[in-house]
């Protein structure tokens, strides 16, 4: 097996909007090369026979830079190539200073950011209360506080993407902390955590892996405030290359980012009737979700329905 690949559970989640129905899980292999804020380096229409390692798969290449976009489903004699997600992968280039970074924003956006920070600080006597965690002892404290918060967030209850509760994750986090490969952050509301961000660190690239906030503080924009202070600290330290917002698009990611790369999640399954059925079913569920979202958006109900689902979760 090539060092570019490692054994992994290859998961395909079937969702209706933000509601998870079930997940198709198989033992396979994932591509190990990490996103680095570059738009080049990969051939978008390569042949599976030329690029995949030996084996039956499935094989997953996540956040593969592609240009132009790939067709959703391609089938040849041996393989099904499935591309369920294509997206702008946003990131912040940290090579510069914070003042220069802020100048990218319009005067109105800078004013809005400053107002949100002041408003949040006013709830704590005029000063933001937040903390960065690096060492194993610090990360153990972070984990205790952030896990309790994560258990109450819609990210965990609805999307199943909260800070993992398993012992294995905590042990891996502490080991990474001992090697200096983690940065974690908490923003407090009084003495209670209101938002958290957990970021593995690889070769100067911070990865926005787990994030959540207390929905009862939504009116104070805790996620935006925490993101602002994190980026200020990273720019001021001057020892990082990129803050990587990872897969998926979102208003906040697009707002804070300095650039993006068009990427795709690419799955390869051996061609057989069962795999083709599962892939086509996943594509159909995604298409239903997209069309429903467009209808709700056209009548001005999409955001209201999303908020209702998150509150219910």
Dump pLDDT digits (tens) for 148-199: 999 887 666 655 668 998 999 999 999 999 999 999 999 999 889 999 999 9
Residues 129 and 152 reside in one and the same domain: yes
Quote the pLDDT of residue 53: 79
Distance CA 214, CA 212 (A): 7
Count other C-beta atoms under 10 Å from residue 165's C-beta.
Answer: 12
Residues 106 and 234 reside in one and the same domain: yes
Q: For residue 68, is the peptide bond before it cis, meaning its omega torsion is within 30 degrees of 0? A: yes
CB-neighbour burial class of residue 94 (10 A; exposed 0-12, middle 13-18, buried 19+): buried
Residues 59 and 121 reside in one and the same domain: no
**Look-up of token digits 């803050």:** 243
Taking 70 as the pLDDT cut, the residues of the chain under it are 1-2, 18, 34-51, 154-161, 296-313
Alpha helices in 79-202 (DSSP H): 98-102, 107-122, 136-150, 154-157, 167-178
Q: Note whether residue 135 is domain-resident.
A: yes
Residues 83 and 107 reside in one and the same domain: no
- What residues contact 32, with CB distance under 8 A and at least 6 apart? 3, 4, 5, 6
Residues 148 and 58 reside in one and the same domain: no
Quote the pLDDT of residue 118: 95
Give the range of the structural domain holding residue 304, as residue numbers without chain letter: 5-87+263-312
Look at the chain and report how many structural domains it folds into: 2
Residues 201 and 284 reside in one and the same domain: no
Q: Note whether residue 248 is domain-resident.
A: no
3-state class of 177 per DSSP? helix
Q: Note whether residue 118 is domain-resident.
A: yes
pTM recorded for the entire structure: 0.78
- Of 248, 188, 226, 310, the C-alpha closest to 35 is 248
- Of 79, 49, 74, 66, the C-alpha closest to 280 is 74
Q: Note whether residue 178 is domain-resident.
A: yes
Residues 102 and 83 reside in one and the same domain: no
Residues 222 and 168 reside in one and the same domain: yes
Residues 302 and 229 reside in one and the same domain: no
C-beta separation of 87 from 263 below 8 A? yes
C-beta separation of 61 from 10 below 8 A? no
Per 3-state DSSP, what percentage of the chain is helix, strand, and coil (rounded to 5)?
A: 40, 30, 30
Quote the pLDDT of residue 183: 98
Run of H or E residues at 186:
strand 182-189
Residues 221 and 138 reside in one and the same domain: yes
CATH number, domain containing residue 146: 3.40.630.30
Q: Note whether residue 247 is domain-resident.
A: no
Residues 189 and 230 reside in one and the same domain: yes
Quote the pLDDT of residue 233: 97
Quote the pLDDT of residue 41: 43
Residues 103 and 236 reside in one and the same domain: yes
C-beta separation of 204 from 239 below 8 A? yes
Q: Note whether residue 287 is domain-resident.
A: yes
Q: For Cα atoms 24, 36, 180, give the angle at the middle one, nearest 5 degrees.
A: 90
Q: Note whether residue 52 is domain-resident.
A: yes
Tokens encoding 241: 């290359």
Q: Note whether residue 143 is domain-resident.
A: yes
């Amino acid at each position: 097996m090539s060092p570019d690949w490692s054994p992994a559970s290859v998961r395909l989640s079937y969702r209706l909007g933000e509601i998870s129905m079930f997940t198709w899980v198989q033992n396979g292999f994932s591509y190990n090369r990490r996103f680095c804020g570059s738009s080049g380096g990969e051939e978008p229409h390569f042949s599976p026979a030329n690029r995949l390692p030996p084996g039956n798969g499935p094989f997953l290449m996540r956040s593969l830079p592609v240009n132009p976009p790939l067709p959703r489903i391609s089938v040849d004699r041996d393989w099904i190539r499935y591309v369920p997600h294509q997206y702008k992968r946003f990131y912040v280039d940290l090579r510069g200073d914070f003042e220069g970074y802020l100048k990218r924003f319009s005067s109105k956006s800078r004013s809005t950011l400053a107002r949100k920070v002041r408003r949040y600080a006013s709830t704590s006597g005029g000063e933001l209360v937040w903390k960065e965690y690096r060492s194993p002892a610090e990360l153990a404290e972070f984990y205790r506080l952030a896990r309790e918060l994560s258990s109450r967030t819609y990210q965990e209850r609805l999307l199943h993407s909260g800070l993992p509760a398993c012992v294995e994750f905590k042990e891996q986090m502490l080991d990474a902390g001992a090697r200096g490969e983690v940065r974690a952050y908490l923003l407090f509301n009084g003495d209670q955590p209101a938002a958290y961000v957990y970021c593995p660190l690889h070769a100067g690239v911070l990865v926005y892996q787990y994030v959540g906030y207390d929905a009862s503080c939504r009116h104070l924009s805790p996620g935006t405030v925490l993101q602002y202070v994190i980026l200020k600290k990273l720019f001021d330290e001057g020892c990082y290359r990129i803050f990587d917002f990872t897969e998926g698009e979102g208003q906040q990611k697009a707002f804070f980012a300095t650039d993006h790369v068009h990427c795709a999640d690419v799955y390869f399954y051996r061609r057989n009737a069962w795999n083709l059925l599962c892939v086509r079913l996943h594509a159909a569920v995604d298409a239903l979700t997209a069309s429903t979202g467009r209808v709700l958006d056209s009548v001005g109900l999409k955001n209201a329905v999303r908020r209702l689902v998150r509150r219910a979760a």
